[in-house]
Amino acid sequence: MSGAKIILADVAKSFGDNVVLDGVSLEVESGESLAVIGQSGTGKSVLIKCVLGLFRPERGSILVDGDEVVGASEGKLARIRKKFGMLFQGGALFDSLPVWRNVTFGLTQGRFQNSARMRAIAEENLERVGLSRDVLYLRPSELSGGMQKRVALARAIAPRPEILFFDEPTTGLDPIRADVINDLIVSLVEEAGITAVTITHDMASARKVAHRVAMLYGGRIIWQGPRDRLYDSGNPYVDQFVQGNAEGPIQ
């Protein structure tokens, strides 16, 4: 690891009276895998959208490789966004397109470009997520949920991003298929040197994919530490969340 890739300092974001982020400070090192945990609706997705410049915080600073995202022009944001790949919660695949066009969508913006080259790129990236060329011409709806996630992952990595955001990557998968996705995230971080931020409710996934875990609660990061400390955090909010107790400080 060498230097912080992403630095958030005192980031605040509200929607009307709904204060979602209220002073988030967090750093992600280059080559690090960080998991952000927290209850539904605490603002994990909003946090990611602020980093991508899709939401404009009212306060604070977000640096990506030293470039300020908050208040940046659309041109600068477009340049910064090229560093990111994103695995959306539902996969967000287009069922009207075959798998190969889904995988290369970010490279072509949906336009028809040298198909043979695009199919070769699709095949190469599908192979990186453990899928064979047999799926190239299938529609996403013809695949299992686990395979759809892998296709979505192949699409996220096709432009060779430096940073990957995973929004609930294991949701809806059985524990075995979830673990296949976890292993893929680990290998992308280790082999390709990608910086990863994973939003998850799945504690097994957080412990497997992340070097470090941060918990978002009440608009702030209330705890962060190495994954080994997740079940020994000394923080009653983290304890309640990871153990899934109805009783505790989180109501």
Could you list the residues that contact ligand ATP (CB under 6 A)? 15, 18, 20, 38, 40-46
Closest approach, Cβ 95 to ligand ATP, in A, equals: 23
Task: Report the alpha-carbon distance of residue 78 to residue 52 in Å, rounded.
Answer: 9
Q: Least distance to ligand ATP from the beta carbon of 62, Å?
A: 15
Residue 206 and residue 230 in contact, taking contact as beta carbons nearer than 8 Å: yes
Between residues 1 and 54, which has the closer beta carbon with respect to ligand ATP? 54
Residue 152 CB, nearest distance to ligand ATP (Å)?
A: 16
Q: Which residues contact 134 (CB under 8 A, 6 or more apart)?
A: none
Beta carbon of residue 166, minimum distance to ligand ATP (angstroms, whole number):
12
Burial state string for 145-171 with b = 16 or more CB within 10 A and e = fewer than 16: ebbbbbbbbbbbbbbebbbbbbbbbbe
Which lies closer to ligand ATP via its Cβ, residue 133 or residue 201?
201
Assign 32 to helix, strand or coil: coil
Q: Least distance in Å: CB of 15 to ligand ATP? A: 4
* CB nearer to ligand ATP: pick between 13 and 119: 13
Q: How far is the CB of 100 from ligand ATP (least distance, A)?
A: 30
The H-assigned helical ranges of the chain are 44-51, 74-81, 99-103, 105-108, 115-128, 145-157, 175-192, 203-209, 236-243
Q: Closer to ligand ATP at the Cβ: 97 or 250?
A: 250
| CB nearer ligand ATP, residue 18 or residue 109 | 18
Pick the closer one to ligand ATP by CB: 45 or 224. 45
Structure tokens at 72: 């940046």
Q: What is the number of other CB atoms lying within 10 angstroms of the CB of residue 7? A: 18
Which residue's entry shows tokens 């199919």? 119
Report the alpha-carbon distance of residue 246 to residue 94 in Å, rounded: 39
